[in-house]
Amino acid sequence: MPEQRNSRKPSLVLKILRMAVLVYVGLAAVLAIGQRGFIYFPSQQSEALLAGIARKAGMEPWRSASGELVGWKTVPREGAPETGNVAIAFHGNAGFALDRLYFVDCLRGLPGDPIHTVYLFEYPGYGARPGKPSEKAICRAAAEALDELTRDARTCVYLIGESLGSGVACHLAAQHPDKVAGLFLATPFTSLGDVAKHHHPFMPVRLFLVEKYDNESALRNYAGPVAFLVAEEDEVVPARLGVRLHDGYRGPKRLWVDEGSSHNTLMYIPTAPWWVAAWDFLLTGGTATP
């Protein structure tokens, strides 16, 4: 009898192990197959509704040469020069571009009004822009927009990358370093794989992750000034990833860690000391000292 009981134990253990493996594989499959659903959270609205929001904020549609909606841009102020310093903002993974009007307010509030035009880039599948979001689609559309804006050699372009948008900004800077005067990266990360690993430590996420957004590698191909803003208590993108990205960058750089802030509680106001200092640093080509 004792021998019979012992013979049953391995079969029970094997059943438990098999079940655990099946559950693990199932979870991995869900993450692999539906990964874009875990990355992108677009809000969609009609262009007419968004145009009304934009108008109230002093903005108008930003269209490509072919007439397609790219995003939104500030209406030039009366008496402003035809061109000059411009900033393109690439937002995080949720909402749509006009949810980031705080970037417009903050840039307009800089001393001396150094930014001629602010552009809020809309991702494919977000807002009123058709398409489906993916790293390939977003980066391709962003590159096309940058190319059109820089056809006038007098235009000096600065990129803002917020969270996921840091991946777009870093990609553009790496692929077109001669067209990007500087980067402002808010709550950035080293790579999307590192963020995914933080949230799913027991899953082989790097093996099946299609969306890479490898900022660490991208910045190796850029040498312009980069301002890094990290939220100390960030629960989405760990602060250590933003700090690591800063530490590994070899070009002109400055780092600000906003104490007590989480991923969505950074206070973007024109008078924030880190905001003014960051843009002073960028607009002087990385020569401004703290």
Cα(112)–Cα(125) distance, integer angstroms = 36
Cα(220)–Cα(239) distance, integer angstroms = 21
pLDDT tens for each residue of 88-135: 999 999 999 999 999 999 999 999 889 999 999 999 999 999 999 999
pLDDT of residue 163: 98
Task: Indicate if the pLDDT at residue 202 is higher than 60.
Answer: yes
Q: How many domains does the chain have?
A: 2
pTM above 0.75, yes or no: yes
Asked if residue 289 belongs to a domain, the reply is no
Asked if residue 148 belongs to a domain, the reply is yes
Asked if residue 288 belongs to a domain, the reply is no
- List the domain range (segments joined by +) for residue 15: 1-33
Asked if residue 134 belongs to a domain, the reply is yes
The encoded tokens of residue 221 equal: 């191909």
Asked if residue 166 belongs to a domain, the reply is yes
Q: Specify whether 163 is located in the same domain as 249.
A: yes
Cα dihedral 195, 183, 134, 67 in deg (nearest 10): 160
For the chain, the average pLDDT equals 90
Burial of 240 (0-12, 13-18, 19+ CB in 10 A): middle
Task: Indicate if the pLDDT at residue 32 is higher than 70.
Answer: no
Residue owning tokens 């703290």:
290
pLDDT tens for each residue of 135-181: 999 999 999 999 999 998 889 999 999 999 999 999 999 999 999 99
Q: Residue 215 belongs to a domain with what CATH number?
A: 3.40.50.1820
